[in-house]
Amino acid sequence: MGLGYHLVEALIRESLFKPIDGDVVMIGRQTVYFTPAQFVALLQSHGVETGSLQPEHICIDSQTLNRLPGEGQSWIADTELFRILGAKRVLALDHSAYEGADIIHDLTKPVPDRLRGCADFVIDGSTLDNTFDPALTLRNYCDLLRPGGRLLAGNMYSNHNLPYVILPPHWYIDYFAMNNFADCKVYVIVFPDHRPENLLEAQKRASVFTPDIDALIAEGNFVNNFISPHMMVTIVFAQKGPDSTTDVSPIQQPYRSASDWEIYRGSLRKMQRSARHHLVRTLGELQFREGTGGYLIMAEDFSTLDRLPEPCAAPAAP
C-alpha cells in the first residue's frame, strides 16, 4: 500500500480547495513515495507557502514494510505528510496490528458503531483491490466518514501487481451517485510498459483519463469500461453530503430502471455543479492517444480534452 505521485498531488490539490484539518484514517500504513525534498518541491510548485518547513526536519518513514525498491530509506512518513497538510490526528486501520495499526478491524465485516463517523478524511492506497468483499469495504470506508467527509482511494484497474478484484470506474460512480454523495471524481491512470527505474519519473509518464459525465447522463447512451492492455490504476475521490446514504446498491446501466436513471442523472448533475477542480492530470506528453469512448483526457493544466489536437504538418520544402 502506498501513495505515489498522483495520489499525493491529489491530496495537495484537495487541501487547497478544502483544508484537510480534521481526523484522517488511513487504510493501513501508507508508504509515501516521496523524499522530504521532493514533497516540499511539489508543495511549492502548487503555490503552497512552505515557510520554515525544511526537508531535513521532516520525519522519515520507519514503520511500513514490503516497500517498492528505490529510495525507501529516505521516504517521508505517512503521518508527517498529513500533519504538514494540516490534519489534527492521523490513525491507521488494519485487520491486525501489522505495522502498528491504531484501529483493528476486518473490512469484510461492517464497521462497529464506535467507528461510524469517526473520520473527516479516509485514504486508501490500494487496499480495496485486495479485499474479498469490495462492496462492503467501500461501504465501510463511507461509514467511517462524517457528513462532509472525503475519501481518496487508488486501486488497480488491471491484472498487474496481484489484485484480488479489478473494479471499473462505473462501479464507483454508480455507487456514489445512487447514494447521493455531494461529489465524486474518478480517474484512470495508464502506465507505459517500459518505465524508468526511478519511481517518481515512472509515474510522471502515465496518461490520465476521466469519465465524461455528459456521456453518462445522456439518454439512450451507454458508456463502456475503459479498455487498455497496459497497467492501469483508478483514483477515486468522493465527498459525503449531509443526506448521503451508504447502503444503496446500484444497478448496472443496461438494467437500470427509469426511476433509478432519474436519481442517477440528478445526482451526477449535482456533482457537475461542484466548484471543486480536478485533482489528477497527465504530466508531459500523453503516451496513449487512443482512448475509449466516453472518457476525457486530463491535460497537464488539469483541464479536460475530448481529443488531442492534431500534430502540425511539416512545412513543405521550398
Query: Is it the case that residue 78 has pLDDT exceeding 70?
Result: yes
CATH code reported for the domain at 2-305: 3.40.50
pLDDT tier for residue 274 given thresholds of 50, 70 and 90: very high
DSSP string, 251-288: --GGG--HHHHHHHHHHHHHHHT--PPP-----SS-S-
DSSP 233: E
**Average pLDDT, stretch 79-95?**
95
Query: What's the predicted TM-score (pTM) here?
Result: 0.92
pLDDT tier for residue 311 given thresholds of 50, 70 and 90: very low
Residues in CB range of 289: below 8 A, 6 or more apart: 308
Average pLDDT value over all residues in the chain: 90
Crossing angle of helices 134-144 and 169-178, in 10° steps, is 50
pLDDT digits (tens, 9 = 90+) for 173-219: 999 999 999 999 999 999 988 766 666 777 778 999 999 999 999 99
Half-sphere exposure of 71 (CA within 13 A, CB side): 18
* CB neighbours of residue 55 within 10 Å: 15
Question: Rg for the chain (alpha carbons), in Å?
Answer: 20
pLDDT digits (tens, 9 = 90+) for 96-139: 887 788 999 999 999 999 999 999 999 999 999 999 999 999 99
How far is the first Cα of the chain from the last one, in angstroms, to the nearest whole number?
A: 58
